[in-house]
A and B are shown apart, each in its own frame.
Chain A
Amino acid sequence: MDIGELKKQSDLSYNIAVAKRNALEKAHSRLVVVYDEHLFRADAETIALVKTLGETHSPLYVLDSNNNPVEISDPDDFLKKLTERNQEAISSYHQMSKTFEKRGD
């Protein structure tokens, strides 16, 4: 492989890496959810916490993204909203990732 081809591959790898990172950032932005007038991240940690605590506690008390305590009166509804948003954001990122794989082939 000559140096021109190597440079081309390197540029392509760079472009894919930047695009993939931006797609992940886009997913992170989309994970922010407002529930009961508070801000949350619909990430794996929040979902696991609400799922676990929701099995034994109702109402349940959690911290929002600014560490303010919030009473969640309907944990099932909260969990549903979190998982919906999480899967919307991550599935979009998944689709984008597939296109990056094709570009990198």
Chain B
Amino acid sequence: MKKGILLFCFDTVDHKYHKILERCVHLIKKNLKLEITIVTNFDTYTHLKPLGFVNYKFIEPELGNAKNGKEWKNVDRHMAYELSPYDVTLVMDIDYFPFTDNLRQFMDTKYDFLISKDAYDLTDRNSFDHRRFSIIDMVWATVFVFKKGKKAKRIFDMIKYVKSYYSYFLDLYRIYDRRFRNDYAFAIALQQANGFLNYDTLPIRIPTLPPDCDIMKFTDEGIVWQYNDQINCTEDQDVHVLNKEVANV
């Protein structure tokens, strides 16, 4: 059974995502040691430094989404099933930095689709408790694993359907955030595809640094960040970094 990691990366006018990708790929090779396929466009590809053995799939990203008034090319995640060359695929945000091999074992389960429902705020402010902003649990599409087959295909078909009628589903589930977010599209699709019942999840909380944390130092082992006048760090722990300035550290 072929196993690998699928990453999506598109530079925007405001952010050089390819620099974040380079860091992520380095850590994947060091810690997860799995084959990598990068979904990108040619413009982003031309800025990438040589990354060694990596597969590329070129697509033109769907435009039109924005975050804090800036372009946000995040809409293509629903195509992961078709784009993945693997039987078992781990899809990761490129700003999720795997400082451990914890995710690797999730490629060896019997589950067709696994995703986490919780994020953990590394600054201890509990800023990712989004439950009150909708009437369903949000999932974190930052990291998920799927095994190709009927069930996973059905879930991705449902994600496409939810995406097509996204504003309707936002109203139906009383979701406060009006931007297109994979987290909500996946949460809605999983609930619908599973008959409005519970579904299998990853028993992990995604360790996350909020966007107001400045990254001071980035090494192969961990991250040092500053929040207000406090400096803290973590080592040998995966981290999802929301401040895109991590590209320039």
Point out residues on A near B: beta carbons under 8 Å. 11, 14-15, 17-19, 21-22, 25-26, 28-30, 32-34, 37-39, 41, 65-66, 68, 92
Decide yes or no whether B85 CB sits under 8 A from chain A.
no
User: How many interface residues does B have (CB within 8 Å)?
Assistant: 28
In contact, B229 and A34 (Cβ under 8 angstroms) = no
Q: Can you identify 13 A-B contacts, CB atoms within 8 angstroms?
A: A19-B234, A21-B124, A22-B122, A25-B120, A25-B205, A29-B205, A29-B237, A30-B100, A37-B108, A39-B202, A66-B203, A68-B200, A92-B236
Docked CA distance A18–B124 (Å): 6
Contacts of B55 in A (CB 8 A): none
In contact, B109 and A39 (Cβ under 8 angstroms) = yes
Docked CA distance A20–B109 (Å): 31
Decide yes or no whether B12 CB sits under 8 A from chain A.
no
Contacts of A25 in B (CB 8 A): 120, 205, 207, 237
Contacts of B105 in A (CB 8 A): 32-34
Q: Which one of A14, A26, A28, A34 contacts B109 once the chains associate, using CB atoms below 8 Å?
A: A34
Q: Which one of A11, A22, A29, A37 contacts B230 once the chains associate, using CB atoms below 8 Å?
A: A11
Decide yes or no whether B232 CB sits under 8 A from chain A.
yes
Given A18-B230, A37-B108, 6 additional A-B pairs, CB 8 A: A15-B232, A25-B205, A29-B204, A32-B105, A32-B203, A39-B106
Nearest chain A CB to B23 CB, angstrom units: 20
Docked CA distance A68–B124 (Å): 32
Nearest B residue to A26 by beta-carbon distance?
Answer: B237
Q: Which one of B102, B109, B205, B232 contacts A18 once the chains associate, using CB atoms below 8 Å?
A: B232
Docked CA distance A29–B188 (Å): 26
Nearest chain B CB to A25 CB, angstrom units: 5
Docked CA distance A63–B124 (Å): 31
